[in-house]
A and B are shown apart, each in its own frame.
Chain A
Amino acid sequence: MWCGGAIAQDALEHPDWQGKGFAPNVPDHPLREIISGLAFRTHETKAMQSDDFNNPGFLAVEEGAALWSKVDGAAGKSCASCHQEAVQSMKGVRASMPKWDEKQKKPVNLEQRINICRSENMKAEPWKFGSPELTAMTTYVGHQSRGTPVSVRTDGPMKPWFDRGRQLFYDRVGQLDMSCANCHEKNYGKFLRADFVSQGQTNGFPTYRLQTQRLVPLHERFQGCMFDVRADPYKPLSDEFLALELYIAWRGLGLPVETPAVRN
């Protein structure tokens, strides 16, 4: 059904998500407790995520690592030519995305930042959203922030984007007339036909989804949730999804990055 689908294993076990989060340390936060989507999954799924040898998302981490030092484009460079060791240079990057980009005059997320480097610094073709390359690189770079608390900026030029994102989060859309908040603020922790709904946090992305057996980038997840309420989804990397990504990152301030997380 809507968002998720039948994962029988999760239906058999009520997740013990209560008390697994922390109180937000900003005023006027809509959540009493900020909780990772991981807390709403089964012991089995949690175990799979926490064991790097069993976490299928690590295939993409390895692919990304190989691409990191692969020369591509007219400038004859690889990512490593400019950034050397990702373990050091990319630490914490994912946790602060989306970030204001002075040149573009808008916030950019990790996928977009990677493609800016490809076209401007490597003189290479940008990778398509959803391509195995872009998702693998996003996963590899994201993974270097594992454990770093999410800490996006929402002030200054980010403020209108933040406000737009908040509006989108509460907008009711689609034939089913539902908002993100209807499920992820009002009803997290509850069983919705075939799945336990989480807070819709973004700290695990790209996530390995057991249902599709591949890594799913964040904006694809957004599209899926909109599609399932019979709404016409916004496009990946659109201004709308950028704003939504920023706003939801703020809802999860302080959550540790889990990339690559494992979810249903």
Chain B
Amino acid sequence: MQDVTVNDASDAEVWSRLVAGQADLFSVIYGRHAESVYGYCFRRTGSWSAAEDLTSIVFLEAWRRRADIRFGDEGSLRPWLFGVANNAIRNRARAVRRHRAALQRLPAAMVADDATVEVDRRLDDEAKMRRVLAVLEQLSPHHQEVLALTVWAGLDLAGAAVALGVPVGTVKSRLSRARAALAALASPPTDAAPVAGTRPEGANR
């Protein structure tokens, strides 16, 4: 059983105890952030099943990269986890391979079918989300990330800066350009001028 003080401790404090050997505290960190990471990954991919895999990957990667960890305001791990999620989403195929390889080297975990899954509603969600993503994907990856972090993940500018590993000023300017580019996409075309911030055809960085 976890002691009472854990509930009031910051992520930074829990994480330091976890790294020091209190392995069961992973359930605390996971419990605090898994839902928001899962939601973020769904909104970035439009697939619940991919979001489930990516959520596992994000926490695995967080552990693997624990030496690089950066905490946000009040010792929160949340912005950094979204940064790890961004990398995992960008390198999805490789991340999934690494995840499977990691699982194969661990004793089998108990995975049972979840009988409560609302299949129809989930399919509706996915269809709706893919329509949104089809528009968003016309923006550059930087603009997609900054919009997703601030609008969907609810991070403030400082949190987004931690997630993206860039200065706050860069987040502000990216966000401004991303919103302008998004507004231009939503407007009917009135001339042939290129939209600032939209990515060239096929670009992915």
- Do A and B interact? no
B residues lining the A interface (CB < 8 Å)? none
Residues in chain A within 8 A of chain B (CB atoms): none
